[in-house]
Copies of this chain bind each other. A is one copy, B any other.
Amino acid sequence: MDSIEAVFRISGHAPLARADSILLEQTVETPRAVAERNAYVREYLMGRVARVEPHPDDGYLATLELPVETAATDAAQFLNVLFGNSSLHRDVQLEDFRLPATICRLFPGPRFGIEGIRRILAADARPLTCSALKPVGLTTVEIGRICRAFAEGGIDLIKDDHYLANQAFAPFDERVRTCQDVVEDVAARTGHRAAYVPNLSGTPDAVRRQAESAMERGVAAVMVAPMLLGMPLLHELCTKVIDVPVLAHPSFAGALRIKESTLLGKLFRLYGADAVIFANYGGRFGSSPEVCRDVADTLRSEWLGIRPAFPVPAGGMDASRAPELVRFFGRDTILLVGGSLLEAGDELREATERFSESVRVAARALRNDQP
């Protein structure tokens, strides 16, 4: 029978026994003797410790085979079998997982992914740029003004700050109408078609209403924070509600002991995100270049026919780092720069133009370097 392979990093003195107890926790969650009384459970649902090997740095990697039968019923249950109770063990980290092709049918994966986003933005093989409408607290008119400077300055994706919800000072529908008008107006006048990306927030009903209202208004993409909203809602939005690309924000995602590339690179992608924001190295979050490379590579890797998704490095990026970041992440990337552009104040459009141009120049150098 097909299995999900889950790789856990464990510490401790008795890794084989530890792996075995995690296997029980993630499968039948009863004493082994109780579970084995039933023939079907014994035969098909107990899983297996495939191997336990030392981790290069510290501790051990335990690879467990978990039964698809218990996991594959729904989007919440999949997470539950993958890392539900074991997340409560302080010495266990979900390192990676591998899926049998059969289970992929249950998941949307990116419906657009890198290729679809490029098509919608009419952007050929170059890094894309992104900025954020912030700070929270501005009125809709003030937000619209920043949006215009970004669009005129050549930004590809103009996203809401993730603190923008449906506050009284810039209500969702009014903000979407204003910003979408701005990007359409700039496109008509200059030919540069920026995508305005509203942030969806609230309970499932509210998020669904916001998504429908924003798509009706013609937005080219939307943003959600899957760990705030719940991963199953991302799944439902991508399979039933949203027919534009989805940009995933990592807010609240740090609360779990899941390796970055596994949570942001595989799970977010599997559940339907077309582009995933993550904390870049050299910014506010102290990520390392290795972790960032790992997240980006994972999002773009070949994986069971699931479309690749855009990595979106972010988090206190200085616009002047564009050449370095283009070299580091390559062309299939979206560079998200916010505060660093906004510091330009009245010169926002000009600073944005310089940033956009520096990305184009760096992308050309990239192409010339490559065969």
List residues of chain A with CB under 8 Å of any chain B CB: 21, 25, 27-31, 33-35, 37-38, 40-41, 44-45, 69-70, 73-77, 79-81, 83-90, 92-93, 134-138, 142, 161-163, 165-167, 169, 201-207, 225, 228-233, 235-236, 239-240, 250-258, 279, 284-286, 315, 338-340, 342-343, 345
Which of chain B's residues have a CB closer than 8 A to the CB of A33? Answer: 343
Which of chain B's residues have a CB closer than 8 A to the CB of A285? Answer: 88-89
Residue ID in chain B nearest A167 by CB atoms: B73
Residue ID in chain B nearest A28 by CB atoms: B135
Which of chain B's residues have a CB closer than 8 A to the CB of A228? Answer: 76-77, 79-80, 84, 230-232
Which of chain B's residues have a CB closer than 8 A to the CB of A92? Answer: 255
Q: List 6 A-B pairs, minimum CB-CB distance, nearest first.
A: A230-B230, A87-B254, A84-B251, A255-B257, A28-B135, A203-B236
Q: How far is the CB of A318 from chain B (nearest CB, A)?
A: 11
For the complex formed by this chain, how many copies does it contain in all? 2
Which of chain B's residues have a CB closer than 8 A to the CB of A340? Answer: 31
Cβ–Cβ contact A86 & B257, under 8 A: no
B35, B207, B230, B255: the one contacting A87 at CB < 8 Å is B255
Given contacts A28-B136, A87-B252, A230-B232, contact A205 B240 (CB under 8 A): yes
B45, B89, B161, B339: the one contacting A254 at CB < 8 Å is B89
B25, B29, B169: the one contacting A40 at CB < 8 Å is B169
Give 7 pairs: A residue, B residue, CB < 8 Å, sorted on A: A38-B135, A41-B138, A76-B229, A83-B255, A203-B232, A228-B232, A256-B256
Residue ID in chain B nearest A73 by CB atoms: B165
Which of chain B's residues have a CB closer than 8 A to the CB of A77? Answer: 163, 165, 201-202, 228
Given contacts A135-B34, A232-B203, contact A87 B29 (CB under 8 A): no
Given contacts A34-B135, A135-B29, A135-B45, contact A201 B76 (CB under 8 A): yes
